[in-house]
Structure 1
C-alpha cells in the first residue's frame, strides 16, 4: 500500500525518462482499496494548456507517439489509468469492474482539479479512446457549465455494441436483468486478433505490457456491461456537451474472422456507422472526421492513416481550442 506522501508525489513512470506518475487515492469499494493513476509528460518550461487522455477497455496509456503529437502542438500531456486498469489494477481487484460509469467521475474530477488548480493550466482538452470516449462524453455532459473542459476529443468512441439488432435490443434487456442479480457473471470475451495485430511480439508495431493489455482481454461481466449499455442509452437520447467536440473514426468496419486481410485498414472492434450516426447527439458543436485506412485506435494506425489523423486533429485544435487567457 502506498503512503499519502507517495500518492501526492510524482515518480518516474514505467515508460521511462520524461514520464512521471502519481497515485490518486479513491473511495474504497467492496473489493477494498481503489486508486487511479495520473501520468504526466510536461514540456520543458511547462505550458498553460494541457490535454488529459483516457484509455479504452482492456487498455492503459502507452501511446507515447500521442504524447509527442500533443507536445508538438504546445500542450502538457497527462493520461489517466482509470481504477482497475493498467497501473491502477490491484492484485485484489477484478480487472475493469464497475457497475456504473458515474463511478469514474471521482478520478476524472480529481485529475482535472490537479491539472487546473494545482499545476496551473488555463486550458484543458480531454481526449477519450473507445470506452474512454463514452466515459468522457458522459462526464463532459454532467460537468457542463462549470468551465472544466475547454474541448473534447474522441478517438473511435464506443457509442453502441458492434453486434446484431437482436443482441442490441433483447440481449441488452437480458444483460440489465442479469447485471442487477448477478453482476459478476461472465457474459462474453474479446477476440485476440486486434491485440495480436498491434503487439510487436506477434508481428505488430507497438510495445506494451501484456499483463495490463492481454490479447484476449479480460472477461466481460454482466454488471460492467449493464453500466456500458446504460451509458449508450443515455448518449443515444442526446447529450448537451457545451464545448467543441472532435470525433474521429475509421472509414470502414470489418470482421477479422471473415476478412483477416483488412485488419490493418479498418476498425475491427466497433461499427463506425454507429460512431458517425451518434456523433451529432453529443452537443451543438461537433466535428466528425473519417480517416481512410484507420484502425480502431487511430493513433496506432499504419501510415498514412496515422499522420492523417494527427493532421486533422491539429487543424481542428487550431480552430477550436482556445489560447490561454482567451475570453478572460
Structure 2
C-alpha cells in the first residue's frame, strides 16, 4: 500500500533551465538508504489553463527536454516533470543512482505531484513517460484505474521488455529478478549506451546539452533490486493489460543493433527493440493508439528536427481528437 504523504506548503524556486522554469522539492519518509526526495519542475502557459501534462523521464536520465515543455505550453498545457528519487536534481550523496526495489516506490512522488497539479487548478491531466518512465506511468495507470487525478497516457518508447536475446529474456532475466528479491544490493554491469549518448549530446553527434553527471554515456553498475523492479512491473502490465484511459504509444520504425558508433544511431532506437514495444503496446486494452515514427531515436523528441516535428504533430493531433473536441 502506498503511504500517503501530506502536502507541505513549499514554494517553487527558479530552476536551472531558466526561462521561467521552476522547481519544487518533494520530501518523503526515509527508505533503506536514508533520506529521500523527488523534484517537481514546471513551466506554465502564458494564458490561464486548466490542462496539464506530467512527464516522467527514463533510466539513466533526468528532465532537460525544454523544447518539449514549451511545445506543450504553446498548445495550452501547463507542463510538469518529475526528477524521480535518486535521479538528476533529486540525487543525494548517500544514494546509489536509480536504486529502487519496486517501481511502486515512485508512486509517492507521482501521487503527490498529481495532487499538487490538481490543487493548482488543472482538471485535465495527461501522464507521459519515456522508456523506463513509460513503463512506470503505464504500470501506475494500470494500478490506479478510475483515478480522478489523470485522464490520458502517453508513452515515448516505453520499456516494456528487456532488449536482450530470447534465451536471456526468458531464462536469465527471471532468475536475476528472483535473486534480486533476496540480494537487492548486488551490483551488476550497467546497460551499454555510450553510442546512443553520443548520438544525442551536443559535444558529440547530437544537438542537446545536458549533464553528463546525471545522464552519463556509460551507465554505472545497477543493483539486482532494480532488475527485479523492472521485471515485476513488466509482468504486471502484461497480466492486467487494461489501462482505462485514452493511451498513445509512440516508437521508432527501426531498431539499431550495432554496438559501435555509426550514422544508424541517428535514425533508430539504439536502446530498446521496437518489435518488443509494438508487441506489448498492442496487447494493451482500451482506447489504445500505437504509432510508428520513421527514423525516430529512442527518445523520440530528441530526434532530428523533421522527425520530432512529426512526433509533435502526431502527439497534438491525438490530444485534440481525444480531449479537446469542440461541439
Instruction: Give the drift of 1:204.
Output: 1.8
Instruction: Write the distance in 2 (CA, Å) between the matches of 1:263 and 1:249.
Output: 15
Q: Tell me if structure 1 keeps the 8 A contact 2:43–2:70.
A: no
- Which residue of the partner structure matches residue 172 of structure 1? 173
Structure 2 regions of 5+ residues with no counterpart? 1-5
Match of 1:76 among 73, 78, 81: 78
Match of 1:208 among 207, 210, 217: 210
CA-to-aligned-CA distance 1:286-312 (integer Å, 9 cap, x gap) = 001100010100000013211111111
1:152 match: secondary structure: strand
Instruction: Write the distance in 2 (CA, Å) between the matches of 1:193 and 1:297.
Output: 14
Instruction: Give the drift of 1:193.
Output: 0.9
Instruction: Give the drift of 1:148.
Output: 1.8
**Alignment of structure 1 residues 38-49 onto 2, 5 Å:** 38-49=40-51
Match of 2:226 among 224, 227, 245: 224
- The root-mean-square deviation of aligned C-alpha atoms, in Å, is 1.9
Structure 1 regions of 5+ residues with no counterpart? none
- Which residue of the partner structure matches residue 249 of structure 2? 247
Instruction: Write the distance in 2 (CA, Å) between the matches of 1:63 and 1:209.
Output: 12
Instruction: Write the distance in 2 (CA, Å) between the matches of 1:278 and 1:105.
Output: 22
Q: Mark the CA change 1:162 to 1:7 in structure 2 (over 3 Å): closer, same or farther.
A: farther
- Which residue of the partner structure matches residue 63 of structure 1? 65
**Alignment of structure 1 residues 286-305 onto 2, 5 Å:** 286-305=288-307
CA-to-aligned-CA distance 1:260-282 (integer Å, 9 cap, x gap) = 23100000100001111111333
Give the number of equivalent residue pairs: 321
Instruction: Write the distance in 1 (CA, Å) between the matches of 2:147 and 2:53.
Output: 17
- Which residue of the partner structure matches residue 148 of structure 2? 147
Instruction: Give the drift of 1:180.
Output: 2.1
- Which residue of the partner structure matches residue 189 of structure 2? 188
Compute the TM-score of the two structures, normalised by the length of structure 2: 0.94
Compute the TM-score of the two structures, normalised by the length of structure 1: 0.94
